[in-house]
Structure 1
C-alpha cells in the first residue's frame, strides 16, 4: 500500500479547498494536496446540474480575491449560471494550477489523528492513504442531500432525480407532465425552467418561499471591462460589510422612521433594487423585532400578490398571515417564478394540508387519496446542512469516536473551525460561524487567512498540534445559541437549526452576529486568548 505524506490534506476542490490550497501551498510553501470526490474542480458548481442552477450573489464579488484569477476574466451576467461558474473554475484551475495537486474521484471514508506522530492518517474509498499534519475538510455546508423516506419511492416508473444528483445530459420535459417537490432555492429555480417547457407542472409546496427579485441582466462589453478593472475594489468593499455583500446592512430600525410611509417607500425600494437588499438593507431590526418583521412581510406579500392573478394561488404563495417570520428561513432569488403560476397549466399542491403519503408507478399520492400522474419528478428537498457531509466522512476523535456520534446531542466547536478532540483539523465554511448569512467567497477568504495564520504560528513556534479547549468550545456554543435566542429565528423550523432532518438535534447551527464580530472572536483566540482557547503540544 502506497502512503502519501503531505503537510496538509484538504478535502474538496470548491471555493474553500482552492482558497486553502493557495494560502498554504503558494503563500506558506507547504506540501499540500486536495482529495475531491468529484471528477473536476468547482465543488457545488461542478455537482449542481439541475435546470436553472444559478448563484444568488452578484458578480464579481462571488469570486476569488486573487488577482491571477480575475485579471483576465469577464463575467457575462450579473448573476452567473452553473455553466459559466464551472467555466470560471476551469479558468481558476489553470491560473492557480489546482489540478496538479488534486486527486479526483477520491472520497474520504476514514480519518484519525495520532498524538504520538502528530499526524492524521486519512483513507479514501479508492484505496489511497494520506498522512498529514493538518487536515482540512472543506466540504461546504450544502453537499449532503436529504431524501425523505417515502413509501413506494422505488416503484415510480417515470424519470426521477434529486436536484443534487442531476444527470449530466439533463432531462427533456417538453410536452411532459412534471412535478417539483420542494420550494427552496433549487425548487424555485427548477420551477422557473420546467414551467416554460412542460405540458403541465405541479409544484408540491409545504411552505412558501419568501423569494425576492434577482434582477439578473446580461453585461455588455463596456460593463464587463469596467467590472474587471474594479474587481479588487468591489471585493474589498464587500469584505467590509456585515455579510460580505455589495451593500451595507440597514442602520435604521422601524421605530427610527418618523413616518411609516417613508419607511414603506424605503422597504419597497429595496425590493425593487433586487437581490438580498430587502433582507439585509431594509430594516435594521427585521429579524429581531416582531413589528418590524410584520411590516416587512406585509410589504413583501403585497408585492408578490400583485404579480399572481389567481387569488387562491396568491394566498398559497404569499399568505396574508405570515407562516413564519420573514427572513428566518433563507429567501431565494427568483427571475419570473411568480409569473409562472399565472399559467393555467402550472399548479400548486399544498402538502401542508395534504402531505405526500406515497409514490405510485405513475406518480405521487397525497393523504386525500389524490394521485398526480406525471412523467418526470424533480426532488428538491434540500440538504442535511453542514453536519451531514462531515458526519459521513469517517472522521474520528482521539478516542476513536466518529464526528457524527460526537455531535449526536449537539454541536461542539470553537468558532466552527476547530473541534475538541480533533487536533489540527480546520473546518472552513461550516457550522457555528456566519456561513449561510454571508457571501461565500468573501467569508471563506477570511477563514482561509485565519487558518493560514494559525498554521504559520504553529510552524514558526514549533507547535506539533493544537486541540481546542472544551471549556472554550462550550462557551462558544453558548454564545451562538444566546445570540440566536435574541432573534426571531427560533420561531421558524428551518435547516438553520437542522429542523429539516428527522432525528437531528434542533439547535441554532450558525452564528448570527455577522462577520466582523465573528472574526474579532477568532483573532482573539489566535492571539491574546490562545492559551485559554487551545491546548498545544
Structure 2
C-alpha cells in the first residue's frame, strides 16, 4: 500500500506494479500531484529547472512532454503529473479523497492494519509512506482565527476555485518562499496589502525564459547525461560546486564567480558557487554581503525597508533561498505596508482583521497564511502510526526525530518512507532526484527480501543509531544548525531541534544507499 499520489507516490505505484505486486495507492486529494495539487496559490511555481524536475525511468516520457518555460507554474506542473499518471494508467489503482487516519502493526501477522478517515480498513504487508515533506500545513497558527469575518486561507490548502482578491484589502502573513511568490503575484490586483514580516529572507531574481520545441529537443538529447549528473551532485541539480577553493581566490575573483551565478537567475548561486558558505564564517559573511548589496539597491537603499527585509543575523544559504520576480519592488508601492512583527508581533485574529501586540488592529478583507508546514516529520506524525508493542511514532518523534537514512524507523517493520527526516529529500534536494532514488531503493529492498523468502524488513537499532550519529556529525560542522528555520524544526513549538535534512550531499547519500543494496542490505534485518 502506498500513501500519497505525488512525485514519489506515483513512481512508487509504478515500480510496485512493474514488480508484479498487488498494490494500491491512497490519496487525500481528488487528483494526483501531491504538493502540486494542494499548493495552487497565486504565483506558485517550482525553482528547479524543468529539464531536471523530471522522471528518469523513461526517455520517451521525458521527450514527449513540452514545458513552456524554465520554471513552470503550478497549473502546468499539475497538468504534467496528470500526463504521467495517464500515460502509465496509474489512476485506476489510486483511491482519491481518502485520508489515512491510522496504521497499526500486527506482530502476530507481521502486517499493517490501516484505517481511513471513513472507517475503511486495509490489511497490507508493506506500507510505503509517500506523504511529502511539506504537506502538513500549520493552519491554526493564531488565536481567534475562527472569529474573522472575512476570508482566511492557508497557501497549502488553496481553494481550487481560486480566491477573488481584486481591489480588496489583503493581509499576507509570512515572507518565506511561498509568501514571496504570493506577494509578488497579487500585488498588481489588490486594493491594498499589509505584509506581516518577521524573518527576512535573502532572495535571488529568477530568470525564466520560454522553452520552444527546439530548446526542449536539445534538453532531450542530454537525457542520459542529466539522469546521471543529478544523482552525483550536492543537491540533485545539474550544477554543483566547481569553483576553486575560497582561500585560493582574492575578493575580485570571488565576486566575478558570484556575479556569474547571480546572473544565471537560478539556485546555482546557493548550490554551485562555494561550499565554504555552509562552514566558514568569513565566506558566509562575504557572500551574504554580496546579496545584501543587491537587495539594498532594489529597495532604493530605504533604511527602514532595508532593516526590515534584509537579513543580518544569519548567513546566506543557511535558510531556504527563494527565487523571486520583482518581490522587493512590491514594498515600494503606495498601497503596500510592511508590518514589522519583530517590533509588534501578531497577538490574535479579530473579527475585522489582525491585532498586533502594540494594540493596533489592521483591518483587512482577506488573510493569507503563508506560515509554512510541520516539515519532514509532520505528515507522518498526523497519522496514528503504531509499531512494535504499540509504540507511537508521533510520541517518539516528539522526544527525538530519528530514522534510518530516512527510509525506515526502527520498531516499525515493513514501513518505508520517502521525504522523511534525515535524508536529503527532507529539504536539501531537487525533489524528483531524491524521491525517485528512494523509491528505487525501497523497491529493490522489497524485491530482494521476497526473492530470498523473507516477509519482514526492519532497520536495526544499531544501524539507525549509527546513521543519526553520522547525520549529526555532518550537520554540526555547518552554520545551518546555528540558524532558526524550518530546516531545524524551529517553526513548530516544542519540535525537537535537529537538522531535518541530511546535508552530506545527494551524491554521497546515493553512494551509501547503493552500497547497502549491493551488499545485501546490511543493517536492515530480514526474516
Instruction: Please state if 1:353 is matched with 2:334.
Output: no
The Cα offsets for residues 421-446 of structure 1, whole Å up to 9 and x where unpaired, read as: 11111101221001211101111121
Give the corresponding residue for 1:5.
Answer: none
Secondary structure of 2:412's counterpart equals coil
Which segment drifts farther, 92-101 or 308-317? 308-317
Question: Is 1:279 aligned to 2:270, yes or no?
Answer: yes
How far apart, CA to CA, are the structure 2 residues paired with 1:80 and 1:502?
34
Q: For 2:520 and 2:93, locate their aligned partners in 1 and report how far apart those are by CA, in whole Å.
A: 35
Q: How far apart, in 1, do the equivalents of 2:10 and 2:34 lie?
A: 10
Is 1:262 aligned to residue 253 of structure 2?
A: yes
Equivalent residue of 1:168, what SS?
Answer: coil
Does structure 1 residue 160 correspond to structure 2 residue 165?
A: no
Q: Say yes or no: does 1:145 pair with 2:137.
A: yes
The answer as to 2:357 corresponding to 1:390 is no
Counterparts of 2:197 and 2:130, CA distance in 1: 32
Which residue does the alignment assign to 2:37?
46
Given candidates 469, 487, 490, the residue that maps to 1:496 is 487
Equivalent of 1:130 in 122, 125, 131 = 122
1:508 aligns with 2:499: yes
Equivalent of 1:95 in 87, 95, 113: 87
Q: Provide structure 1 residue ranges, at least 5 long, that are not aligned to the other structure.
A: 1-8
Q: Which whole-Å CA distance do the structure 2 matches of 1:63 and 1:189 have between them?
A: 22
What is the 5 A alignment of 1:51-66? Answer: 51-66=42-57
TM-superposed CA distance for 1:149, in Å, is 4.0
User: Deviation string for 1:345-364 (max 9, x for gaps)?
Assistant: 22211101110111222111
Q: Distance in 2 between matches of 1:520 and 1:234?
A: 17
Alpha-carbon distance in 2 for matches of 1:485, 1:233: 33
Q: Name the CA shift for 1:32/1:337 in 2 (closer, same or farther; >3 Å).
A: same
Task: Tell me, in whole angstroms, the C-alpha distance in 2 between the residues paired with 1:316 and 1:448.
Answer: 42
Asked whether the equivalents of residues 232 and 508 of structure 2 are also in contact (C-alpha less than 8 Å), the reply is no
Residues 1:54 and 1:95: Cα distance change in structure 2 (over 3 Å): same
SS in 2 for 1:222: helix
Aligned equivalent of 2:333, options 329, 343, 368: 343
State the Cα distance separating 1:338 from its structure 2 match. Answer: 1.2
SS in 2 for 1:285: helix
Q: In 1, distance between residues paired with 2:70 and 2:76?
A: 11
1:371 is matched with 361
Q: Distance in 2 between matches of 1:529 and 1:461?
A: 10
Structure-1 separation of matches of 2:77 and 2:176: 21
Asked if the contact 1:73–1:228 (Cα under 8 Å) also holds between the matched residues in 2, the reply is no
Task: Note if contact 1:358-1:365 (Cα within 8 Å) is conserved in structure 2.
Answer: yes
Name which of 180, 200, 206 aligns with 1:208.
200
Output the CA distance in 2 between the equivalents of 1:214 and 1:139. 29
Residue 178 of structure 1 aligns to a residue whose secondary structure is strand
1:485 and 2:487 equivalent?
A: no
CA contact (8 A) 1:77 1:218 kept: yes
TM-score, L = length of structure 1: 0.94
Separation (CA, whole Å) in 2 of partners of 1:232 and 1:157: 55
Deviations 1:117-173 (A, max 9, x none): 232221211232222221101001000001354232222111211111111111122
1:225 aligns with 2:217: yes
Deviation at 1:254, TM superposition (A): 2.1
What SS does the aligned partner of 2:237 have? coil
Change (3 A) 1:530 1:167: closer
Residues paired across the two proteins, number: 524
Q: Distance in 2 between matches of 1:100 and 1:61?
A: 28
| Aligned-residue offset at 1:521 | 2.5
SS of the aligned residue for 2:334 comes to: coil
Measure, in 2, the Cα distance between the counterparts of 1:483 and 1:348. 38
Q: State the 1:505 CA deviation.
A: 0.9
> How many angstroms apart in 2 are the aligned matches of 1:374 and 1:200?
9
2:511 is the counterpart of 1:520: yes
Contact 1:181 1:203 in 2 (8 A): yes
- Give the Cα separation in 2 of the matches to 1:268 and 1:409: 44
State the 1:398 CA deviation. 1.2
Residue-by-residue CA offset, 1:292-334 (whole Å, 9 max, x unaligned): 0000000000011111123321232125xx2212211101110
Note the C-alpha offset of 1:523.
3.0
Q: How well do the aligned residues superpose, as a CA RMSD in angstroms?
A: 1.6
Assess if the C-alpha contact under 8 Å between 2:388 and 2:412 holds in 1. yes
Query: What TM-score results when the alignment is normalised by the length of structure 2?
Result: 0.96
* Number of the residue aligned with 1:401: 391
